[in-house]
Structure formats: C-alpha cells, structure tokens
Amino acid sequence: MSGLNYCFTDLTDHERVQCGAYKRGGIDAIAIIDTDANISNYSSAAAWQAAIDAENVKIIKGIKAEFPEGSRVEGENPVACGAETVLDGVDFTLSVKDFNVSAVNDEFWATANGNSYYIAYRLCNEDEIVVIEVPVTVKAVQAVVPMSNKEKQHYPVTLEFSVDANWFPARYAEPAAIFD
C-alpha cells in the first residue's frame, strides 16, 4: 500500500449502466454563476430563475464545449515501498467555442475574462446538468476570424480550475426551460 490514506475506507457501491444506456457527450449551454449566488436547489427552475433575475447567473446557449480528462498533479509519495508519486490533485480545462459573435458578446467575454465564477454545463440530450462549485477562471480572447468566408467566427474560451484528488462534480436533473 502506498499513498497518504492509511485508513481503510468503505467503498460505495458501483452501478452498472443497464441496457447500454451510456451517457453521451456534447455540451450546448453553460452557466456562469456568481460565487455568491446561493442557488438553493440546482434542479429547481424557480431557484435558477431567481438567481438569473438577481443577475447572479448568465446562461450562455447555443455553444459547443468539451470537458476532457484533467491533468493529474502528482507529488512525491512520503512513504517508501510503493509508487514514487501520489495523486495530489487535478487541473481541469473546459473548452468552449462560442459562435455567437457580436459587439455585445465582445463586451461580455472581455468583462468575464480573468475572473472566477462557479459554472454549470448542460449535457445534450441527457436531461442533466453538471455543477462545478469551485472557483473557475475564465480565459477568453477576441473572436477568431477565419480566412475563409465559409467558416464561422467564434470566441475560444477556456474555463480552468484545480481540485483535490478525490473531487468529482455534482450532477443534477436539468431545471425545466433554463438551459433551452
């Protein structure tokens, strides 16, 4: 045995997805959430609408995004006789392509750039959102303008954050009509 956890932890059950109903990818909307928003129930459309009305949440729809595997942050194992390193944390980058290029959105991304928020993203066709309640830093640049008039302009945006080794985001039932 190696690593920092010297205590046995009872493992939770593992579920087998039935009938090949594996979750699919695709993110078509994200929420930028003020860290003070205090949404009481992430599955409640009323709770989301209250936060939107208070201008504590902005929903960005009609986008393409990807949440790939994170980068492992490893450190030296303080215990001999085992793996040389242990997992100390994970760095994540959610990549967004926002094709909604306009003067208003230039200002939106310029204002969000460099700031930290909580975020949520909607999984296409899964009736589910994933919420990340750790500080996520927005890194946006001006819209990419391709050479060809057959290609679309878009904002390349990355949402970056770091978490402890055992962190996983929370999944919720999608609140009705909020991310549509």
pLDDT digits (tens), the chain, 180 positions: 344 556 667 888 989 999 989 989 999 999 999 999 989 999 999 999 999 999 999 999 999 999 999 999 999 999 898 899 999 999 999 999 999 999 999 999 999 999 999 999 999 999 999 999 999 999 999 999 999 999 999 999 999 999 999 999 999 999 999 999
pTM equals 0.90
Which tokens is 148 given? 């060809």
- DSSP secondary structure letters along 87-139: EEEEEEEEEEEE---SHHHHHHHHHHTT-EEEEEEEETTTTEEEEEEEEEEEE
